[in-house]
Amino acid sequence: MQPIGKTRWAIPEGYIPPDSTGEGRALVSHEAACILNANDREAHVEIIVLFSDRDPAGPYRVTVPPMRTLHLRFNDLTDPESIPQGTDYASVFDSDLPIVVQHTRLDSRQAALALLSTIAYGAD
């Protein structure tokens, strides 16, 4: 398959809701970066997380196998540090191969989940 995407992406909106009303991992409030790697090689992605009032965190490093997607939850990042809940953040992605990034949040703070999603900003 012909590769598709860009190597730099940005998501200005970031917020992990601190509460949940659903049961199980699927309904826990979370925020995800969905990464599509349509290359025939592994994509190595570095993520920097920016905040409003402190220095950035990272780089976080993830690998996406060839012809696979990784729905990465920001909640699951721990190395080099966790991202606090209930805190404004943003993120920048740098990959060694073209990828496509989509941002999604599931918010179940109130008793009926809410969703948002957008393709991230891909740098020219």
Contact residues toward its own copies (CB under 8 A) are 1-2, 4-5, 8, 10-15, 21-22, 26-27, 32, 34-38, 48, 50-53, 55-56, 67-71, 86, 88-90, 92, 100-105, 107-123
**Shortest gap between Cβ of 61 and its own copies (angstroms)?**
16
Q: Of the two residues 77 and 120, which places its CB atom closer to its own copies in the complex? A: 120
**For the chain, first and last CA: distance in Å?**
22
3-state DSSP helix/strand/coil percent for the chain, to nearest 5? 5, 50, 45
105, 99 Cβ separation under 8 angstroms? no
Q: Of the two residues 48 and 75, which places its CB atom closer to its own copies in the complex? A: 48
Q: Of the two residues 44 and 67, which places its CB atom closer to its own copies in the complex? A: 67
Which amino acid is residue 83, in one-letter code? I
Q: Is the CA virtual torsion 107, 113, 23, 105 positive or negative?
A: negative
Burial of 26 (0-12, 13-18, 19+ CB in 10 A): exposed
Q: Of the two residues 8 and 42, which places its CB atom closer to its own copies in the complex? A: 8
**Shortest gap between Cβ of 41 and its own copies (angstroms)?**
14
**Shortest gap between Cβ of 10 and its own copies (angstroms)?**
4
**Shortest gap between Cβ of 56 and its own copies (angstroms)?**
5
